[in-house]
Structure 1
């Protein structure tokens, strides 16, 4: 078998969330192995941390079955190129970050060629497609887990793994500075402040934003002093959000549209209306009441929900194994239903209850993530 060149580590992170999570670990790995070059797929944060990008993470940012089909030729081309270059380069290791549909098939081939494979953020076999655990066992030398309950699942499956905590739990303060965040955003609120996060993908904004801003419009009729904060993931997403927001002039007049700064928006808010995804956990870690809304094409939803293994789609509910926050999916993602839940989220008793529950959740996710991940990766490299 060919020798490893041992002069690089290949990373593959898709979407904003993967880029964010990997950026918490990549600098520590690079510092522990200064002789190794970090290259592969990543977003702006990983690139800032020293990744030499072969492709940008945004090129893998696609959701749903029907949406993936439209972009499939491009994604398959990137995947083939990743396989070819990695096997040819013979790096010290391949580190896949989330994006299991993209990464696992690459990891299988890479590992079969003798290159060590680490996968950060375990595929959610506890939520859907449990049969995927067999592919994980073939594809991965070591898993880096970000949720504590996953340890038992993968230990029983005989897959080496390490619980590294969730990187967000280290970044987000245990006690948010709401007033300080409002000062930074120059928001002098007389009424409630609500952060609206309709998603970081084009299709999410298309399907979720109209209902979200419709809910904001209904809320203004009952609470006219309410202010809204809307972060856009990048200039393109901001433009797409603004196109929807223009259809709701009453909401637009009471909205601050931000360039990024989603964490500052959450910290400044009294409540958060958010599309499903990592942002639901971020909202919980900021100890804010949240309402989860999500909509997509009907066929995509049918296919995804038919494979589901859990009652919930949002991370706070999955971690708690009960319905802590409302989830308004598909036909229930309507302005009327969302605005009703937002009013409930603003009630003081509701806020105090969730603050206590989310503080306990934060403690369970808090670990020295970069250190634990680097130690686990080092052990794989030594083997």
Structure 2
């Protein structure tokens, strides 16, 4: 009987998870042409050329109320995934991010070897999930160094190879093309606006950023505001929100990194983009806002001193956070300190540079791929 090629299944969700899945798939393909890689994911995973058995409809919303609203589509997709994976019969399943969905799916898939890459943030809320993870997964690959100790404390095999965000930064991009498309001067002082990647997130946070723009323009009338559009599906939302505004807002739907690299300061939603900005050494101010119902619920279940991953990883406030409301006098004081050349801006940048060391060296995804191949090649490929 002819033996089939070793099979890996990658299951990802959310925009950041899809990006990490894409990076991992590319590295796995480099390591061996003999393995069969299939996936459930989004655009980035699909772009690698692996077999996509189902496209994950990444939700553009977040919060408890949005989860309830999308409950039935979520359940239907869960059933489709279970059936498709069982038909594929992979030797190893790699789950990436998207804990609400992935934990539910993993519970339905018995007798498969499973690894969780980018596991749930148990340190922020619902620590009890760690015991479910212990029962469901052979090992976890964390993206924060302190997470590894948490999982090891509960005797869960855990590994840390760095944060995959370092692999997302592209070193070679055409700055002149960016300038021409945005119609700005070469010596322009750019304020990069990064309002997030979810529709509901943008609707909540971008109005605060627009108000911030007016405050900044009062003191620094010469700056240019450029808004990063994380996905083409968000363009019309952003365009509608800036229509009729008195100051010029330009939307950039190209690489977020080329905008980030050339920003004097970034105003950003909390999330992975904070780490990307930190790696590039770009001073930033972080905004976070939910609707009142979701925020009230979140306050009771989330136990974390900070909202930005920059502050969470370092364990101290490096970047300023404005949560729900903004004191505009305080905002302008902080903005001026990190915008104007001087000691406070330099100190801020030095702290961001220190974070780069914590996040690890480049080729994180390659190291993760090496580990996954080791696990794939172990003798006992299936759980009895």
TM-score after normalising by structure 1: 0.90
For residues 247 and 56 of structure 1, the distance between their equivalents in structure 2, rounded to whole angstroms, comes to: 37
Q: Any residues of structure 2 matched to 1:15-34 within 5 Å, and which?
A: 15-34=14-33
Per the TM alignment, residue 339 of structure 1 is displaced from its structure 2 partner at its CA by: 4.6
For residues 344 and 78 of structure 2, the distance between their equivalents in structure 1, rounded to whole angstroms, comes to: 46
Q: Any residues of structure 2 matched to 1:56-95 within 5 Å, and which?
A: 56-95=55-94
**Secondary structure, in 3 states, of the residue corresponding to 1:59?**
coil
Partner of 2:299: 305
Partner of 1:172: 169
Per the TM alignment, residue 210 of structure 1 is displaced from its structure 2 partner at its CA by: 1.1
Partner of 2:219: 222
Per the TM alignment, residue 359 of structure 1 is displaced from its structure 2 partner at its CA by: 1.4
CA RMSD of aligned residues (A): 2.2
Structure 1 ranges of 4+ moved more than 4 A: 4-7, 334-340
**Secondary structure, in 3 states, of the residue corresponding to 2:267?**
strand
2:273 aligned residue (276, 279, 303): 279
Query: Is contact 1:142-1:380 (8 Å) kept?
Result: no
1:365 aligned residue (336, 359, 369): 359
Aligned length, in residue pairs: 370
Q: Any residues of structure 2 matched to 1:27-66 within 5 Å, and which?
A: 27-66=26-65
Partner of 1:331: 325
My pick for the range that moved more, 339-348 or 146-155, is: 339-348
2:339 aligned residue (329, 332, 346): 346
Partner of 1:380: 375
For residues 172 and 236 of structure 1, the distance between their equivalents in structure 2, rounded to whole angstroms, comes to: 22
Query: Is contact 1:229-1:257 (8 Å) kept?
Result: yes
For residues 136 and 152 of structure 2, the distance between their equivalents in structure 1, rounded to whole angstroms, comes to: 16
TM-score after normalising by structure 2: 0.89
For residues 231 and 122 of structure 2, the distance between their equivalents in structure 1, rounded to whole angstroms, comes to: 31
> Judging changes above 3 Å, is the alpha-carbon distance between structure 1 residues 233 and 378 closer, same or farther for their aligned structure 2 residues?
same
Query: Is contact 1:148-1:163 (8 Å) kept?
Result: yes
Residues 318-338 of structure 1 show CA distances to partners (whole Å, capped at 9, x for unaligned) of: 011111111111133x76654
Query: Is contact 1:293-1:338 (8 Å) kept?
Result: no
Partner of 1:316: 310
> Judging changes above 3 Å, is the alpha-carbon distance between structure 1 residues 320 and 135 closer, same or farther for their aligned structure 2 residues?
same
